[in-house]
Amino acid sequence: MIPVVLTAVIAILFFSNHLDKEAVTKADYALTGLRFIIDEQRVATEAQTALIVQQSDIVEELVTWNTKGILNKLTPLWKESGLDFVTITDADGTVLARLHEPEKKGDSVLNQANVKDALKGRTATYIEPGTAIPLSIRTGVPVKNDAGEVVGVLSAGHSFSNPEHVDRTKDLFGAEITIFVGDTRLMTTIIQDGKRAVGTKLDPAVASIVLGGTPYYGYADILGAPYVTAYEPILDAEGKPVGIYFAGVPIASVDAVRWSVVRTVSLLGGAVLLLGWLLQWMILRKITRAIWTIGGFMKSVGEGDLSHTREDINVRSRDELGDMADSIADMIDSQREMIREIKDKAVHLLAVSQQAAASAEEVTSAAEEIVEGSAQLAIKTKDGRASAIDSSKMMVEMSSLIQIAQALAGNAEKNSSDMAKAAAEGGETVEKTVRVMEIVKEAVLETEERLKQLDAFSQRIGVVGDTITGLADQTNLLALNAAIEAARAGEAGRGFAVVAEEVRKLAEQSQEGAGEVADLVGKILEGTSSAVSSMQKSREGVEEGVSVAHVAGEALLRIRKAVDSTIEDVGKIIKTTDEEVAKSEMVISLIDDTATVMESTDEHTRSLASSMEDTVSAMENVTNGAQEVSEAAEELRNITERFRVDRTDHPALIER
């Protein structure tokens, strides 16, 4: 019952909150819809005004200030367009004609933004306040002559005093709609005293916020009634607030829906509570009757009647009560079988206890004989234990000798291993030495060959030096001849004589350089010959060193093989001594175990003798206990006779 009430309260609160949110959403959507309708009207106004200008030719009438001609041409087009008003001005903004008020003309409307822009040659549409029409959508279209000059303006539009905008928005969105000029209601769907509440003022607090350029959303009193409201400023051509759009949802309508939901939920909750109470009563009645039936069954069981079965419990439901009845029936079946077994066991226990009394007497007699034999066994066990201790001492001494031999063999194995390791390292060193000597040998051979090549090159340089010396001598001789010929030529051969002198000097320098080269080549040849001789001796020494290293390596290899053989033999000795030590330790352990067992046997024999004496005494108690068990078994059999386990004819337990 409590969950139903709680669910109903939660549902009411949830739906009430949903209604409030929906009212706010509806007001916001309605305000958005109003803006959309106004924007749609702006587009239509601009198109309708432009169409009138296109379909009429009033340039001549504008130039000649022919108001009558203007009215005659434009009035039919205006009535077809659906525009609320049409005003025609000249190029100075002076009104020449008003189709909606033909008698008014001659005033200036140059202060209107749409007229100003149109006189500049462009079409303009704005929401603007006015004197005759407080607030409207106005489109100004320039009227141009054939030369493209602006000669006047046709300004037309839709007045917000027309209820079309607010009524259409209310029909679409279901909210109250108002258009304010300043803070005064210009047109509204709110009815007061059977009339539209136009001319009334907006709450000053809200008006100051919205006319300051800030939208307002929240709760507000409208003409004494609370509303969920949405206000938005109407901006003119300069972006200044000149009016207010309003959309609101009366709290009364929300409350009406809310109370309707409360009544519906309350009625449904009451119906659910009533139905729940009826179902609860039926279920409780069924449960109570089943419990009474099971209680009667358990009462008969408590009185010792275990002959009932599941068919005697008149509970047939397939639920928890049916499961409980099944479980109780199973329990009674188990108790019935248990009582039968107890009866059988009591009879059997009576027979066994009588046999136990007879057997106890026989055991007492045998125990007395065991006590006597245990005393003799204790004496023999003591003698065997002394012999085992002597054998153990001898085996310990023999094991010590074997362990000493094992230690000596281990040292020999270690020394042999060290020797083998040293031989191996020596072999590796000899191998490295041989490799190094081979490398040195190759280097010596290569150096010897290079020195021979150097000797050959030096000899060739000497030949070249001799050639240069010969050339220098010939050049010197030629220069001398040239000088002689130049002297013969006199003044004409003077230049040639100078050249011959220079050639002679160069020949002398070449001869001196060739001499120095010859000296150096001689020294190089001498050094090279000495180096070749030394390298030949080094090569012979290296070859001898390689041969000796090979011999040393073979000797170390033989030593290593001998040491490896020694290690193998010593290993066999160690293995043999390990086995002997293990066997001797095993024999010692067996002898110790034998001594321990014999000592334990002695103790157990003594304990057995003592225990058997206690057994004799205990068996006397067993005999007495067997007699008491026999009496208890007889009494138990009599108790089980109180329970009725065999089925007799009796009516089933009837469900009340």
* % of the chain surpassing 70 pLDDT: 59
What residues make up the domain containing 583?
Answer: 340-640
Across 69-87, average pLDDT: 93
Q: How many CA atoms lie within 13 A of 418 on its CB side?
A: 5
321 in a domain, yes or no?
Answer: no
For residue 248, give the H/E element and its range: strand 241-250
Is residue 644 helix, strand or coil?
strand
* pLDDT tens digits, one per residue of 487-539: 777 777 677 677 777 777 776 776 777 677 677 767 766 766 776 676 677 66
- The average confidence (pLDDT) of the chain is 76
Task: Please report the pLDDT score of residue 167 as a whole number.
Answer: 96
Number of domains the chain is built from:
1
Residue 92 has pLDDT above 80, yes or no: yes
Count CB atoms within 10 A of the CB of residue 165.
22
**At a CB cut-off of 8 Å and minimum separation 6, what does 392 contact?**
588, 591, 592, 595
36 in a domain, yes or no?
Answer: no
CB 86 within 8 A of CB 98: yes
- CATH code assigned at 569: 1.10.287.950
Across 568-582, average pLDDT: 66
Q: What is the dihedral sign for C-alpha 176, 180, 183, 188?
A: negative
CB 83 within 8 A of CB 48: yes
Task: Please report the pLDDT score of residue 474 as a whole number.
Answer: 78
148 in a domain, yes or no?
Answer: no
Q: What is the dihedral sign for C-alpha 501, 506, 509, 514?
A: negative
443 in a domain, yes or no?
Answer: yes
* pLDDT tens digits, one per residue of 143-196: 999 999 999 999 999 999 999 999 999 999 999 999 999 999 999 999 998 999
469 in a domain, yes or no?
Answer: yes
Nearest to 573 by CA among 400, 411, 406: 406
173 in a domain, yes or no?
Answer: no
* pLDDT tens digits, one per residue of 101-132: 999 999 999 999 999 999 999 999 999 998 88
459 in a domain, yes or no?
Answer: yes
613 in a domain, yes or no?
Answer: yes
Lowest mean pLDDT among 265-269, 289-293, 329-333: 265-269
**At a CB cut-off of 8 Å and minimum separation 6, what does 1 contact?**
273, 276, 277
- Per the listing, tokens 């009104």 go with 95
* pLDDT tens digits, one per residue of 186-239: 999 999 989 999 999 999 999 999 999 999 999 988 888 899 999 999 999 999
Q: Order of strands across the sheet with 241-250?
A: 184-188, 176-181, 241-250, 225-235, 216-222
Residue 134 has pLDDT above 80, yes or no: yes
- Per the listing, tokens 């928890």 go with 320
* Residue 86 pLDDT class (50, 70, 90 cuts): very high
